[in-house]
Amino acid sequence: MLPALFAAAAGWSDWHFRRIPNWLTVPGLLVGVAVNSLAWGWPGARASVLGAILGLALLLPFVMVRSLGAGDWKLVGALGAFLGPQPLITVLLGAILIAGVMAAVMVIWHKRVRQTVRNLGRMLAAFFTLHLPGPELSLDNPEALKVPFGIAVAIAVILYSVRQVWEALRG
């Protein structure tokens, strides 16, 4: 349940302030490694560090092209330290699905379907020509709709944690 509380705090911060601060993510990573080390010894420490590295490595390219904020990146790294590599992949896939639903709702709500389709075409063209799509399609564009990925991650972690507790109670 500790990862769910941590993720909920980060999601709340992302909702209210549109950022996830270092004072939350950095200690979260350290606590994740410490808790797993104390609970499981060397195998726990190893899984924790591998989870953190995996989370940071998977999302680094998105931070570098400015399509994901650094706070979201550090949040996923810290969650990797709490969860380990395998559960992190499950949570990350869930978060991506949730963020996709959130994005679709935002696009429809703000009546930007045509613009979004054009932008997707521009991103695909940039991908196939091995170029960056440009600053107008990044977090740097103040007009862009931005999905608070920390909220999607928080929902995914909470759902994952509830499922883990449910399975423990049933089995």
Q: What is the distance between the alpha carbons of residues 48 and 70, in angstroms, rounded to a whole number?
A: 20
26 or 130, which is more confident? 26
Whether 110 shows a pLDDT value over 70: the answer reads yes
Lowest average pLDDT, out of 37-41, 62-66, 155-159, goes to 62-66
Give one DSSP letter per residue of 109-149, joined into a string.
Answer: HTT-HHHHHHHHHHHHHHHHTT----GGGSTT-TTS----H
- In single-letter form, the type of residue at position 158 comes to I
CB distance 7 to 72 below 8 Å: no
CB distance 151 to 16 below 8 Å: no
Q: For tokens 């990797």, what's the residue? A: 80
- In this prediction the pTM is 0.88
Give burial (CB, 10 Å; 0-12/13-18/19+) of 11. Answer: buried
Domain spans in the chain, listed from the N-terminal domain onward: 2-110+145-170
Residue-wise burial string across 149-158, b where 16 or more C-beta atoms lie within 10 A, e elsewhere: bbbbbbbbbb
Whether 72 shows a pLDDT value over 80: the answer reads yes
CB distance 79 to 160 below 8 Å: no
Residue 137: band (very low, low, confident or very high) from pLDDT cuts 50, 70, 90: low
